[in-house]
């Protein structure tokens, strides 16, 4: 079958879908991934066809970063989307057009929740659809929805938070889909309602990139068979010799990286982090992402990198300090090393709290509250023997799973039936 796989967002949002696409290709399907054009090389390097979403995601994230940092509670999470509309309105119509065009000639459509146009494109073209979420999105009484995760009011309240999140998420993507559809077809799509509530039928199902060891799932409507880790082929790749030498020249360093988040005060953040590392007796590897530090010579006991495979690096560190993005959190768990999460906004607070609950890291430190002293406390907590051991145990469990393969098999069976 020709499968169109729609995703949106940064590298961490894109990689799980590449992993899933590779497994579907092994089963004989032709897979095309729609993603921001920044990731064309990444997708094609893994042997998949690519359909570009026009626009530079690094610039878009830079515009959105302030709103993200301000989104430290559920109300701000949803209102932040309204604040961002002036920045991304012109890009939204083009994005919906690119996603829809990627669905033409597809025999099946798999879509990220942020690419919900995939559901309506599937109905329009008469092909089956699969909602593929990279975070827990199945309603449950066992814990709150991610953006409500710090709110604990009992099981019925937990269930309500999932319903609110589904409705709120739909409201954020509904308008641009409707505007595109009216411009293209002169009307709204048929059955233009919340696609996240759809039950499994002959023509629709839902899957999730998540491990039962991290968030146990009881909702049978959404298949949860393990994380979709992108196991990069490092056969022809060699790490920088300077980095290898740095790692081997002393005790394992701590990696610090805040993913694709743009930091207007990168120099100040770097100095804060370095001071906390030095005062706790650690060297550091600092991943700069799209940020830059001016005076690297002032940090000779630190190593600065732009981008390197997490699967190779994390297991060679004493721990990871990160922003709490879903992808980076999963990679850290998989590597079996402890962590300190510094959430900046949105669902990152949930991943920080869940890391603490699992016993594989310190209590989260919100970015707006980050100080040298608090980061020192987090590092010391992260390095406690009990935390290190629990992180190792979780890593061992996750490494025994193959979520991308098992989810691809489920989708393959669903499509054949």
Domain ranges of the chain: 2-227+401-416, 241-399
Q: What is the mean pLDDT of each run of 10 residues along the chain (417 residues)?
A: 93 91 98 95 95 78 54 58 55 90 97 96 97 90 90 91 91 93 95 89 95 87 92 84 94 87 70 94 83 60 86 95 92 97 90 97 95 98 98 98 97 95
How many CB atoms are located within 10 Å of the residue 341 CB? 30
Strands 30-36 and 302-305: unpaired
pLDDT digits (tens, 9 = 90+) for 346-394: 889 999 999 999 999 999 999 999 999 999 999 999 999 999 999 999 9
Specify the pLDDT at position 390. 98
Specify the pLDDT at position 89. 59
Strands in 302-305's sheet, in edge-to-edge order, are 302-305, 284-287, 254-257, 319-322, 339-341
Q: Considering the domain 2-227+401-416 in this protein, what is its CATH number?
A: 3.40.50.2000
Specify the pLDDT at position 83. 52
Q: List Cβ neighbours of 344 (8 Å cut-off, separation of 6 or more).
A: 65, 68, 69, 258, 261, 323, 324, 367
Specify the pLDDT at position 137. 87
Specify the pLDDT at position 84. 52
| 3-state SS class at 283 | coil
Confirm or reject CATH 3.40.50.2000 for domain 241-399, answering yes or no: yes
- Same fold? 2-227+401-416, 241-399: yes
């Amino acid at each position: 079958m020709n499968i169109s796989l729609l995703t949106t967002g940064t590298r961490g949002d894109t990689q799980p879908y590449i992993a899933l696409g590779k497994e579907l290709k092994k089963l004989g399907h032709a897979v095309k991934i729609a993603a921001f054009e920044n990731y064309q090389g990444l997708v094609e390097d893994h042997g998949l066809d690519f359909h570009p979403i026009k626009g530079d995601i690094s610039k878009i994230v830079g515009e959105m970063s302030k709103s993200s940092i301000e989104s430290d509670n559920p109300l701000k999470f949803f209102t932040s989307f309204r604040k961002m509309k002036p920045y991304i309105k012109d890009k939204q119509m083009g994005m919906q057009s690119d996603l829809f065009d990627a669905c033409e000639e597809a025999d099946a459509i798999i879509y990220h929740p942020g690419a919900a146009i995939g559901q309506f494109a599937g109905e329009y073209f008469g092909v089956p659809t699969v909602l593929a979420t990279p975070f827990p999105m199945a309603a449950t009484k066992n814990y709150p929805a991610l953006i409500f995760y710090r709110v604990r009011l009992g099981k019925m309240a937990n269930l309500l938070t999932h319903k609110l999140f589904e409705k709120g998420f739909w409201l954020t993507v509904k308008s641009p889909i409707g505007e595109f559809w009216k411009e293209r077809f002169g009307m709204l799509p048929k059955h233009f309602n919340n696609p996240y509530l759809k039950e499994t039928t002959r023509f629709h199902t839902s899957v999730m990139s998540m491990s039962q060891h991290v968030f146990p799932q009881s909702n049978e409507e959404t298949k949860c068979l393990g994380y979709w880790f992108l196991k990069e082929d490092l056969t022809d790749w060699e790490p920088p010799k300077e980095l290898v030498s740095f790692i081997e020249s002393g005790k394992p360093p701590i990696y610090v990286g805040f993913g694709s988040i743009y930091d207007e005060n990168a120099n100040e953040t770097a100095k804060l982090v370095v001071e906390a590392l030095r005062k706790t007796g650690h060297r550091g590897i600092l991943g700069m992402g799209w940020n830059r530090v001016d005076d690297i010579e002032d940090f000779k006991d630190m190593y600065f990198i732009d981008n390197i495979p997490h699967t190779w690096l994390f297991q060679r560190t004493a721990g990871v300090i990160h922003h709490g993005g879903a992808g980076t959190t999963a990679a850290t768990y998989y590597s079996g090393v402890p962590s300190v999460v510094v959430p900046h906004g949105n669902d990152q607070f949930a991943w920080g709290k869940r890391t603490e609950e699992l016993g594989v890291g310190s209590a989260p430190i919100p970015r707006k509250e980050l100080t040298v002293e608090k980061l020192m406390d987090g590092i010391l907590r992260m390095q406690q023997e009990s935390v290190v051991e629990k992180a190792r145990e979780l890593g061992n469990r996750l490494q025994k799973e193959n979520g991308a393969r098992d989810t691809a098999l489920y989708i393959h069976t669903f499509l054949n039936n």
